[in-house]
Structure formats: C-alpha cells, structure tokens
A and B are shown apart, each in its own frame.
Chain A
C-alpha cells in the first residue's frame, strides 16, 4: 500500500478515533447517544479557525478548540442533563443533545464564526519528515500524537481514577454519592467537559487540515465513528480508537485504488456494519430480559 495513503489514513483515523472515543465513553458512562458531540466538534473547528486567523501557534489553536468544547459540555450537563438525569429520562437526554447543537449553531452565528472562511495554512503544518522511507507531514504526526494523548488521558481519567469512579457513582445513584461526600452536581459535568474536549480536539485537528471552514461535521466521519463505537466493547476507548484507524485505512485505501468506488457504497457498508454491531450488542439484553421473564 502507498505510504502516502497510510499517512493520510492515520490523519483521518485520528479525527474519527477522537469522536468515537468520546461517543463510546458517553454511551458507557452517561448511557445515551450524545449528539451534542457533533456540536462540540464544530465548536472546536470554529475556535481553531478563529485562532489561526490571529496567527496563533498550533498548540494554542488545539487548546482553544478543546477549551471551548469543554465549557460547552460542562454547561450542557449542568443545566440540561442534570435535571433530566434525576428523572432517568435517557430519551430526553438524546433530545437535549440535539437542542444543545442548535444553541452552538446560534453561538457561532452570534459571534460570526459561521461564515465560510478560507485561511492560508502556515508552512509549518506542511513540513515533511521522512523516517525509513515513510513520508509524513508535521500535521499528520501532530494529529496522531494528539489523538493518542487525548484518548489515553480520557481513558485514565474516566476508568482509572477516583474521579472516574465518582462520576459513575454520581450518575448511578446521586443520593448515595452525595452521602459519600461527592458533589453530584459538579462531577458528571466535569466528565462531560472532558468528553466534549476530546471531540473539540478532533474538530480542531480536522479544521487545521481543511482549507475552508464550513459549520458541519463530515457525514463520513460521523458514520465511521459510530461504526467503530458499535464494534468496540462499550466504553473501550482503546479498541474504539484502533477500529477507527482500521476503518480510515480501509476507506482511504478503497478511495485511492478504486476512485470510481462510490462513497454511497462505503456509507451503506458502514451502515450494515453498525446494524451488525447493534444486533450483536442487543443479544445479551434480550437474553437477560428472557431470563428475568422466566
């Protein structure tokens, strides 16, 4: 396989991996499909563009994207999800995620970040390195390194620390968590902020690559991230990220070697993959329901 295709796939895989890691953690810990993450993605991208226009260095643009998405996630959980969680209304949480996306669109419109903008990309991003015949740009290396760092940080924060335990305790039983001294109204919003920050980084990385900015997440990124999520065990950040890289590699290889291959076919293949993943995942629940009934 062409090394250039592999380098491109590593970049695309990084963006997909960040979205799928955030989605799978949200499904596992919060128990619902958070479509506000699509908003966090475009917020990260928009902030990256704003900072790029001022000539800020790459790390500042990434931090700005992550921070904006984290603040949005914190506010979303604190004011929308917290009251709905008390009623155990997971269906309305999905609906609230859609409404939060609308609010982000409004925020972008108010601060005029929604206009299509084209920025000349600094030469730094296009600097090329060559290691053992494998050629890649600095931006591709930055994307992969940031993705690995963000995914590991998210995994450690949610699954390997007392904070993560506190998040799950506060979501499963807020009253008991409060008796144990946890701030049940602060811990889950902080976790949601971390999840949205990871998606915001994905948006910022994507925007660094894109020549012009439009307020939308590419549908293929979204579908591939969902497919990776559905095949990975719920909450497994590592497997979801690995599958994202595999999917990106497969999609880019097919597009490179068979240019006539329609994206429609790819999308339908991914939909079938999601359907299989969902069907496999639903089996234990059905069996548990049967057991409970018997």
Chain B
C-alpha cells in the first residue's frame, strides 16, 4: 500500500512539474501526459540499444522527452495564454494517439521493453534528481525541458501509467493541473506540496466508489475557486503575518 502511494506520488509530482511554468505562473501547460508517453515510447523504441539496462532506458526516455520539451517550450514562449493551452493539449493528444497506435505499447511487449521494473528507492532517487534539475532551471529557458525530463523519466519508470486514450489523458491532466494549482505555481515547492493531495488522495477518492469521480471533481473545482494561489502561498502569508506580529511584539 505504502509502495503504491509512493509510486502515485512520483507519477503525480512528475506530471505536476510539467504543468508548472515558474516564469509565467498564470500559464498551465497540458503537455505533461504527452511527455510521459513520449519518454516511454522512445525508451521502448530504443530498447535494442539499451540491452535491458534501466539506467540506459531512463537516460534515453528522459533525455528525448527533455529535448522535445525544450523545442516545444521555445516554440510556445511567445504565445497567448489560451493558445498555449491549445498547443500543449494538442501535443499531448497526438503523442497519446501515437502511443495507443504503437504496437509495442499495446500488445504487452511493455514487459519485454522494460525488463527491470524499478524499485521504489530507484524511483525516489530519479525523481529527486529531476526535482533538483527543475529547481536549478526554474527561471531559465530550460524550465519547460526540465519538467519534460521529469515526465519522460516517469514514463519509463511507470509504462503502465502512460495514457492510451482521451479519457486517461484527461484524467492524467487533472492530476497534473491539480498538483500544480493546489500546491502553488510560484515555486518548485508548490508541486511537492500538492502531489500528496492531488496525486495520492484524489485517485483514492476516485476509486472509492462509483460516485468517487464526482466527489474528486467537485473538490478540484472548490480548490480552483477558493485556493487559486495554492497552499504554499497561504502558508507563506500565514508565516508572514506571524512574523509581523512577533516583530510588533518585540518592538
């Protein structure tokens, strides 16, 4: 159970890091699910070169997703917010269509392509590295590519999670956007804070019963309406007012 929750956290955080565009916090990227699928497809396609090595497959999957992420990010820099959403969503939809058409992804060859399923410890280490890269690149031109790197790595680590249709694509985007918005989009720590809620708690609510998706959707909408700046901003404001009161008391 705990292991499953850790993997949910890893997957949600990787997706959340792609929805998070620190230089433009009012922009939401919907390319996360696409980068995840792209990482898995490219690692699968290059499995012959990797000779079953997880590290080689991770390097291939994550770096190819990052490369595409940099190109997409450079192309989208000057776009209006609404067209940014259209372009990133179209990217995800096309990559997911490719993934669902690709025989390797469909016919259970996934097990051959990814012979060494990663341990939880390996997953945590890879994600920590990705978070570090995202933090270092947060305000540079590589920021979009760094998010794609994390999603690509998650695609290699969790090939079964790759979206293979519009329904799973939108469910993954819900998690990505939920992680970024609930946590906060102004700092890398926002997605870290939002992932346990949107990545672990929400999926548990969804599978709890037939009405689970309704409750999860309503909770997400309530969070978007009442917590638009995310939990991190609330924590910062609370700490600021506490600090101010302490300073006033000392004076």
Contacts and interface: CB of A to CB of B under 8 A. Distances in A.
A229 B85 CA distance: 13
Interface string A89-120: 11110111011111101110110100000000
A92 B30 CA distance: 12
A267 B181 CA distance: 30
B5 interface: no
Contact of B28 (A94, A101, A217, A282): A94
Interface residues of B, number: 51
A223 B177 CA distance: 21
B94 A270 contact: yes
Nearest to B212: A106
A237 interface: no
A73 to B, nearest CB: 14
Q: Is the interface of A mostly helix, strand, loop or mixed?
A: helix
Contacts of A107: 214
Contacts of A96: 220-221, 224-225
A95 B78 contact: no
Interface stretch (A26-34, A48-56, A137-145, A172-180): A26-34
Interface string B108-149: 000000000000000000000000000000000000000000
A262 B97 CA distance: 11
B166 A95 contact: no
Contacts of A122: none
Given A79-B221, A92-B181, A226 B86 contact: yes
Given A38-B170, A95-B224, A278-B83, A103 B165 contact: no
Interface stretch (A80-88, A123-131, A158-166): A80-88
Given A31-B82, A107-B214, A217-B166, A223 B221 contact: no
Interface of B: 26-28, 30, 75, 78-83, 85-87, 89-91, 93-94, 96-98, 100-102, 165-167, 169-171, 173-174, 177-178, 181, 206, 210-218, 220-221, 224-225, 228
Interface of A: 27, 31-33, 35, 38, 79-80, 83-84, 87, 89-92, 94-96, 98-103, 105-107, 109-110, 112, 215-220, 222-223, 226-227, 229-230, 262-264, 267-268, 270-271, 274-275, 278-279, 281-282, 285-286
5 contacts: A91-B26, A105-B213, A109-B213, A220-B97, A285-B79
